[in-house]
Every structure is written in C-alpha cells, then in structure tokens.
Amino acid sequence: MQNHQVVADTSLMMKEKPAFGGCDVMLIGYENQENLGLRSIAAVLNQHGVMVKIQPCHDTAREDILANIQAERPKIVGFSLIFQRMLYDFADLIAYLRHGGVTAHFTIGGHFPTFEYERILEEIPELDSVVRHEGEYTLLELFRNIDRPECWNQIKGIAFREGQDVVVTAARPLIKDLDLLPFPNRSHSPGSHRGLGIRSVAGSRGCYYECSFCSIQGFYQEPPGPKRRARTPANFVREIETLFYDYNARIFVFQDDDVFTKGQHHRQWLEDFITEIKRSGLADKILWRISCRIDDLNRNLLLKMKAIGLVSVYLGIESGSEQGLETFKKHYHVQDIYRALNILKEIDMPFEYGFMLLEPGSTFESVRENIDFLKEIGRDGRSLVNFCKMAPYAGTSIARDLEAEGRIEGTLASPDYRFLDPRMDLFQLFVSRTFNFRNFSEHGLVERLRFIKFDCAVLEKFYPGQYDVSSYKSAVRDLIRQCNETALETLSMAARLMENVSENKVFDYWPILQQLELEEKSAELRIGATLDRLMAAHDFESQVHPWNQLERQVLQF
C-alpha cells in the first residue's frame, strides 16, 4: 500500500511516505505495469491536499483489499476499469467490499464506463457514480462535494443515479496543457530486468486517427478540446531524468497511443525531444520502446532516435489484406506496410506488431492473404508472428456497425459476433483452441520470445563483453523463425481443409484438425525446451514450470 506526500511543484516526482493514519481516497486498478491514469489522478489529488493510496488488484487477494480499505477508511474508493473483459471481476470485487461493510463512495472510470455508464450502473448497483473521460479534476471536484449530493449535477464529467433515473452531466473539457499536471505518483517497487528498473511513461494523450476497432478516438470525441495533446519535450524528459536518478529506471516503455504523427509540428516535437535527451546526458544510458502507425515512420528520425536509446518499435499493422485494412479504416495499403518494414530492416530496428487475422468480414480468401503476408514478414525471424480475432469493444465504430446489423453477441464484458460464412466460425474455434496459449499467455512462446529479444538488447547495451550477444541474437532469431513457420503452416493447412468442404463436412474432418492442434503444441514444447536451455546459458531465469499447462493439453490427446 502506498502513501504520497503533497507537492505543488510539477517538476518534482511524487514520493511515497511512510504509512500512517488513513487516506481520503483509495484508487484500485490493474497494475501489471504502473497504471499511469490512476497515478496521474493520485498526483493531482495530492497536489490539492487530498491523501491518496493506490491499491493494485491484479495480484492482491480481495480479503487483503477489504482489510486495507477498513484500515484506511477512505471517503472515496475509485476503480480503474482498463479492460472491458474485467467488468464482472470488478463487479464481484465491489459487491464483496460492500458486503464486507465498506460504506465509502464507490466510483469507477475508464473507457468502458465512459461509454456505457448507464449499463455499468445497472450491472453494478453498489456503485455510486461513474467518472467519465479524463479523471484528474473530475474526481477532485467529486471529493470536494462528496457530502453534498445536491451539487453533483454541477460536476462536469460524471454520471450517477437520482431516484430511478441516471443523471449524466456535461463532459469536462480535456486538459489542454499537460505540462500543468504533476508527474504521476510512482511506486518504489516497479518491474525490473537484470537489476535495471523498467518504467512506463507517456508524453502525449489521444490520437488523430479513426481506426474502427479502437476506442481512443471515441473517448476523446465528446469533451471539448484538442483530441491529441503533447507535453513539451523539456517537461517529458525532466520526468525521465527523475525516474533515472531517483528510481534506477534504465528501460522506458512509452505508453503514447502514437509517438509518430504526421505533420511538421510533431516532427519538430520529436527533434526537440531528441535534443533534450542529449542535453540530459542520458542518450547512452537508457533503452526505450515506442508504439506507432506504419505510415508515420520517418527513416531519418528513427536513426536519430536509435542513437539515443530506441531499441524497439511496436506497430499497429492489423491486417495484410486490403479488405481488412479497409474494414479497420487504416487508410493505408499492404504495399505501404512493406515499405515501412523495409525502412526498419534497413536501419536494423527491431519491431513487433498487432495483427487481427479475423474480423467481421473475413473470408477464406482474406485469411489466405493474411497468412501469406505473415509468412513474408515472419520468414527471417526478426519479429514474432502473432494474431487474434478483432473484438468489438464499446465506443468503437465497428461495434456500432455490428450492432446496427444485429450481429453483436456475447456478453457485455466480452462482446462477440459470428462470421457471414459459418465455416469461419469453425476456423476461429480451431484457432482459439490451438493458439490461445501460444499467443496470449504470459508463459506462451510469443511473450517468452519477445522478452528474450528484449534481453538481447539489454545485454548489448548494458553488459557489453560479458556475453556473446551476437550468437545469442542469432539463436533467438532462429527460434522465432521456427515458431513462426510451424504456426503459419498449421494455419494454412487448417484453412485449406475447411475452405474446400461444406460446413457439415468440417465436423467429419475434426479429428484431422485435432491432430494439427497436437502437432502445433508439440512443436511449441520442443521450441520452448530449446528456449529454456538458451536462457540458462545466458543467466536468464528459467521458466520451465509454466509449461506444465501446455504439457497437460498435449497429453490429453
């Protein structure tokens, strides 16, 4: 449990203080990495004299959360619902806390509550309010008026019950000048790797683009104000410096929705950021990773950023099919993707990417195009082939389209849809059964190989001469190539089989599909065993034990 001192100077990092007494507000959220949204809210509340504590919920027993609330006696308990799929997990926790006697005001925020405030108040009757859009000053104003419910309808950016009705107030204008915000509160026990601190940071909020599957545009659409805002490079680098010197941070994960953005103004922002990093003296002392679109990449800027520590780029590729790119409203073409990836290869910049193999309009033709595309970009082992089915999340234009077509199924927490070709539903079932562990488990091959790629970059930067990094990188690339090849061959064979038979015939061929699943999982075990040996040879902690889950699946056949 953390407690933070109040500081007025936004140039200072919020420090934890020894726990004593109670807090005014407790914020509960998922914190696999530091939850910058919650920690920014905490910093603003602290700045205005409100005592805040942050309670991670992803690895804390609900009994301990209840005990902490009872000990602290906050007036407000705020819940950060980052992932829509965790709706009912939060509902269960909130009901448990109320049953345990907690009488504090319960509020909740995040993208999903912002869009579905009426539904969430209906699904979780123990909630008292919803904080919509950016929460810093909305929660502050709610705290100041917590004992005056007659004033709540004057607080911009909230929703609450009034009798049998739900009242939603006007949207609070977006925070225009992000430099005026204090730096987010920080934990003294963040993630680390080989003794080096890892921190998340964000230099901007919002996105100019309108991808159909993304809720970011919708989240910032209703409130008045610019939809994308950036801190000044000097302000942003000052936070990085503070994390470096006070928290031993050497590795930074940029949480910006899109670091690169078209236009001379933002190009200049990046040039100024590069200058500030050089001025700080950190250029040869840190590593960092960014996310961006493929059509915004600039070769010269990438080279300059690589020189000051950029070691990985995460791309929103999403599809290798023109149909998929059009469905997703990406506004670029497959050839544009190849051109962008060629830039990264030319300058030897590692990259990973998001990819949705299946979307509402998928056909076996588009699936073949996607598989061929993934084979092309994955054959050299530079990046891991990974894929999923597009989910129609609240606040996205594609969810609205599917709703209008009467195609939305599933639950409020996990909305889903069926394909127009029923054989595609069977293909998706095969993909889920075969690849869910590989693609999505933290112990699956995708995450393990991504992390060992990262380990290569860490050793090369911070421990030169201690390991044969060149051989290490070559071995990792070979394992990634093997991982890619076996997955894509399995996908290809399953798609070819299903495309050429009727829906009923697919069921007759299911034993063949089960055999493909077995062979894929057996290949993953073999690659994983080689990976364990490679990790051990480079003093990387072994992760053999989590593979018991996959071994059990193989033995079931």
What is this structure's pTM? 0.91
| Rounded distance between C-alpha atoms, residue 236 and residue 7, angstroms | 18
> What per-residue confidence (pLDDT) applies to 16?
40
Q: Which amino acid is at 487?
A: A
Q: How many residues does the chain have?
A: 557
> What per-residue confidence (pLDDT) applies to 12?
37
| Rounded distance between C-alpha atoms, residue 122 and residue 164, angstroms | 11
Bridging pattern class, strands 192-193 and 196-201: antiparallel
Q: ∠459-460-466 over CA atoms, to 5°? A: 60
Pair 431, 389: CB distance under 8 Å: yes
- Provide the token pair at 45: 């509340």
How far is C-alpha 54 from the geometric centre of its chain's CA atoms? 20
| Rounded distance between C-alpha atoms, residue 355 and residue 378, angstroms | 12
> What per-residue confidence (pLDDT) applies to 5?
31
| Rounded distance between C-alpha atoms, residue 88 and residue 65, angstroms | 17
| Rounded distance between C-alpha atoms, residue 545 and residue 553, angstroms | 14
> What per-residue confidence (pLDDT) applies to 32?
80
- Could you read off the pLDDT of 319-360 as tens digits, one per residue? 999 999 999 999 999 999 999 999 999 999 999 999 999 999
Rounded alpha-carbon distances, angstroms, from residue 483 to 346, 439, 530, 538: 24, 11, 12, 20
Closest CA to 78 of 113, 123, 32, 130: 130
Pair 306, 280: CB distance under 8 Å: no
Token pair 């430099």: residue: 179
**Low-confidence spans in the chain with pLDDT less than 50:** 1-20, 542-547, 550-553, 555-557
What burial letters (b/e) apply to 444-472, b meaning 16+ CB within 10 Å? bbbbbbbebbbbbbbbbbbeeeebebeeb
Q: What is the DSSP letter of 409?
A: E
Closest CA to 287 of 185, 400, 196, 152: 196
Measured between its terminal Cα atoms, the distance across the chain in Å is 45
Closest CA to 270 of 233, 227, 295, 240: 233
Burial class (CB in 10 A: 0-12, 13-18, 19+), 332: middle
Rounded alpha-carbon distances, angstroms, from residue 391 to 139, 396, 422, 435, 524: 30, 10, 18, 17, 26
What is the helix (H) or strand (E) element at residue 483, kind and residue range? helix 469-499
Rounded alpha-carbon distances, angstroms, from residue 334 to 205, 218, 348, 492: 28, 26, 21, 20
The torsion angles phi and psi of 4, rounded to 5 degrees, stand at: -130, 140
Give all domains of the chain, ordered by start, each with its CATH number: 25-168 (3.40.50.280), 190-420 (3.20.20.70), 423-557 (no CATH)
* DSSP state letters, 212-254: TT-SHHHHTTSSSS-S-EE--HHHHHHHHHHHHHHH-EEEEEE
Pair 296, 258: CB distance under 8 Å: yes
What burial letters (b/e) apply to 131-151, b meaning 16+ CB within 10 Å? bbbbbbbbbbbbbeebeeeee
> What per-residue confidence (pLDDT) applies to 555?
46
